[in-house]
Every structure is written in structure tokens, then in C-alpha cells.
Structure 1
């Protein structure tokens, strides 16, 4: 097993592979041990939004979710990188209203909706995007709920705030290692670093949470169940997370993160998967995670919903198919 990143995805045009994407991937079992790896399992990474189910863990484990009567859909939204579609924006605004709060209480920053129809409608109507349109607003609604339960100060994204201190403690617990540091994410929250192995081990911990009786594991199992039950809330139409969860032959929670990161939680197998494309390309991450899940038997390669990410065609402006995105020979 080489420590160098492995060639995973190629971009073909005609007979040539004109571009290539390398990466690292790790699969861990129910004991937290590596069962398969590509590239460097010890590579230190920022998991970005693929860690949202960990960032949401204190919300449930603390009893805050129960105290505020959160629904399963809201737990899925707390783990989401959503499209900012009406479904998502309305749900976040309703959640804030339940808390007696407003858009001004969020700290994720405004973002133009990623939902094309809503984006164009807002442009026509001269409306500016709000923080609720931010793809991370569900996670931040969760932070606000946990913070209200704690009675903490308004700046809940500060690394030394009780909310983020608890997130870091649980992040290190489930990854099985001390985090070497953090970066500030696009939504202003700290994003804690770990290794590829650490993240795969954390996902395996989540995959087996339903088999353990302790409070923390029960909280994790609730979040996994919420993601699986409401894939549309986790991402949205056209997104790999949502479409691959729908297409899966067994319950699986799949979550992307910025800069080519992906994780998968496989409860029926007790396995966790982590993937990082080194150049951060989403097109390659979508393809590679689909390929890994096909290899594991979770996805059917022939399913059109799988093919749209595993081997999508490339069309030119005249609509002619001129190439394709595909896994590199030998991967996985």
C-alpha cells in the first residue's frame, strides 16, 4: 500500500484520457480497523461538510433535540448541505421561529440559493439571499438549538465557545484520535482536522451505533436514521448524496463535503467509508464514491441513478456526446 494518492478518476474525450484525478480512500469495519485503503490512510485532512453528523452529535446527545421537540426531518437538516430550495429554506425558517429566533441569529452568512428555480425567482423579484439560503443553515439551526439549551453566548461559531468545544470533544471521541487543529469553514464554524483513517473509523462508529446502548451511540443512531429517512433534506435534487441514498439497495447514509470529500455510513455492514479527491473536484468525488459503493454491493452499477455519477457522459454545446467521466483502470 503506497502513501501516494491513487489514480481514481479519468476524464475522457474521444480516445484520450485528457484529465485525471487522484485521491485517498479508507474503509473501516465494526472494530475500527482498516479493511481496504487506497493512497495514504494517515493523510491529515479537513472533512468539511462530510462531518456534519458529528457536528450535530452534541445536539442530540445533550438532550437538546428532545427538549425542543425536534422532528426527524430537522435532525436530517442538521446534517445537511442543502440546496437552499424552498423545502430547505422554509424548514429552517420554521425551526428558527420555534426557537423564538430569526435569520439574524444565524452566523453562517447569506448565500445565493443553489436551487435554480428559486434563484431566478429571487432575481426577478429583486430579493436578496438570506442566511437561511446558506447550504449550512440547517446545521446552524442545530447549533442555535444546542446553544439555547446550554445558555451560551450569541457567537456560537467561535472555536472557544461551549458549542464548538463540545463538538471538538465528540469529534475526537468518534474518530479515536486527537485533532491536530482546525480550519474555519465556509459557514464560519471550525472544521476539525483528522486523518483519512480517523474519519473512516468515525463513520464505522456511526454505522455500529444502533448496536450499542450508551447515550452517545443512541444519539448517533438517531442522526443516521434521520439522514437515511430524509435524503432530500440532506442535499437535494441533482445531488449525489440524495440520489445515491435513494438508489442504494440497503440503508446507507452518504454525505459530501467541500474540496472533494465524501463519507458513507453502512449500518447493515457495520462499515464506514471516507474518500478525498486531492484536487478537490466534485465530479471526481461523485464518481469515486459511487464506484466504491458499487464495489461493496451497496449500489447497482446498471441503475441510471448510479450511472449519472459513476459514468456520466460529457456533451459539447451542440449536444453531441464527446467524452465521459469514468473510474481509472484498476480502481477500485
Structure 2
């Protein structure tokens, strides 16, 4: 099946750019609810699966024993912008485990949120691993290792016991293998595994309902969803799609953007999971495609305010440096 047009950019009343990709909507039994494009084709989920990776942190009791807050659990699921609160929260997680940023093996980069990067540069400081958009995920792995009396060094390696536990969680959720045959290396040096887009969507249907999870993992998923709903800023940051969507919808929608145009969502009340992949890796296309898709879920009973938020996210006005409107970013065929 050919991939489909997901999003388009207009200028002067014409379509200037077109983003192609595919969408899988699955229920928690693995049944296809909607298929747009080649949903059995494998993708690297990248950062979309961070909430699944955080399941052992909660299920083992490590989060409770270390006293991790909702903000800290949300950061464990995050691809954040490196704003001060993000970096401070990652440091606080490490402190609860008796560690410092020197234990982080994700590398350092400038905050991806421009204002935070400019402020950091203006202060004369250099970025640290705390500003890495994956620092919360890495801090969560260190917390898991310390709680289990494991040496956290090398926690990013597939053979480390903490890494094996989080990989087992991915297998549980998606029901497909995660091993050396489909392993790649993510930007933060953790493994990432190529799996069918349909399996990724199934995993997030189950993240919402707990099906195929142990009772402990199902409770952990519910707690992580609640933490993210209460602290959506921690998951992404100022002006970001994920934060905007979850700040409005709370527990009704969990969503997570990943690198190279991969997006997932979980709708617990409907028992559905969604996974999107853009062919060109454009995150902006995956975002507007998800918002437009959600608008079509009449069974969700969206209110007028719900629809207004989704409409705004699926049809965005583009302006130039002078603030003049130049075109739109919108779901394909929605002009």
C-alpha cells in the first residue's frame, strides 16, 4: 500500500510542500481500526516510547522508594526543551538516587527551546547533559539501577540489567521482538528498535488500557499517564505540541513526539493507540496529521473547546519575520 499525503504547506494560495507518510490506528488486541499507508513497515520509534521505558521505574517500586514526584515521572517520559525547570528536575531525580549529572550518558547539547538556549548563552554558561532533551529518561534509568543496587555505569548498553528490564517492557507492550536483529542507536546513545508501525500503535492502545500488561505494569501505566496529565510542561515545554494537547485534554489523550517524524497517541477511554510516521522525517507533519485524525473521532464526544484546540493544531497560520501571514501548515486535503 502506498503512503498517503499527511500534511501540506501553502503559500500564495498554492501548495508549496507536501509531506507523505502512514498512520496506524489499533485497538489493544492488535486489531487494525484504521490503516493509511504501509503500516506493517518497520520504523524506529525513537523517543515516542519513553513512557514505556519508564514502566519498570514505577512497577518495581523504585519511584515510590525514591520519592519521585509527578513532575519527575513526567520528565522520565519527556523530550524536553532544556528549560530551567526541566534541567532542575532532572538534577533533582539524580540527587534522590545519590548521583549527579556526571552519571548521565546521554551527552550534552544546547536547549532546543530557543529562549532557554539564548538565556544560557547570555549567562556565560555552557550546556550540560541536564539540558539534553533525553535527560529525564536517562535519570529514570539511573534511578532504577540505583534502587536495585546495580552499578549505573553503562546503563545505556543493551546488556545492562536496567536496560534489559526496559526492553522487556517494550516487548510486553508491542508483542514483537526487540533484539540485535532490529536494534539501532538513538541520538542519546540508548538502543532503539525498528518495529512495525502497527505494533507501535498497539503498544500505546495497551498503555491506555493495560491489556497484555501485568497488573503491576498496568498500574504503572495509569500512574505515568496521570503524572503526564498533571505536569504536561515537563513532557515537552513552552509552545510544544505535546504540552499544548495534553494540557487541554488531560488523561483523555496521551501523546508523544519522537525524532524523524514519529508520533504516538493513546486514547484510554476508546481503547485505541495511534502511530504516525512521516516519510521525510518532518515532525510538523506528524503533529498536524494527529490533530486532524483526532478531530474525526466522533465517538470521543469532543466538546466545542476540544474541537477548537484540535482545529488550531491541525490548521496553523504561518507568518514571516515581519509578522505577516504567508500561508498555512495544515492536514492534507483540508484546505
Report the TM range for the smaller structure's normalisation: over 0.9
**Residue among 116, 119, 126 paired with 2:117:** 119
Residue 282 of structure 2 is matched in structure 1 by: 281
**Are the equivalent residues in 2 in contact too, given 1:210–1:221 (CA < 8 A)?**
no
1:99-114 alignment, distance < 5 Å: 99-114=97-112
**Are the equivalent residues in 1 in contact too, given 2:28–2:211 (CA < 8 A)?**
no
Change (3 A) 1:330 1:127: closer
Rounded to whole Å, the distance in 1 between the matches of 2:241 and 2:249 is 12
Rounded to whole Å, the distance in 1 between the matches of 2:78 and 2:209 is 21
RMSD (CA atoms): 2.2
Rounded to whole Å, the distance in 1 between the matches of 2:162 and 2:209 is 25
TM-score, normalization by structure 2:
0.92
Distance apart, 1:149 and its partner CA: 2.1
TM-score, normalization by structure 1:
0.93
Residue 197 of structure 2 corresponds to residue 199 of structure 1 = no
1:73-92 alignment, distance < 5 Å: 73-92=71-90
**Structure with the higher fraction of residues in helix conformation:** 2
Residue 161 of structure 1 is matched in structure 2 by: 160
Residue deviations 1:284-325 (CA, integer Å, cap 9, x gap): 111111111111246668866434431112223333222111
Change (3 A) 1:30 1:114: same
Change (3 A) 1:23 1:301: farther
1:150-299 alignment, distance < 5 Å: 150-153=148-151, 154-179=153-178, 180-209=181-210, 214-248=215-249, 251-297=252-298
Residue 323 of structure 1 is matched in structure 2 by: 327
Residue deviations 1:219-278 (CA, integer Å, cap 9, x gap): 122112211221111111110000011233862111110111111111111111111111
Residue 132 of structure 1 is matched in structure 2 by: 130
Moved over 6 A (4+): 210-213
Partner SS state of residue 252, structure 2? coil
Aligned residues: 329
Rounded to whole Å, the distance in 2 between the matches of 1:186 and 1:156 is 15
Question: Which runs of 5 or more structure 2 residues have no equivalent in the other structure?
Answer: none
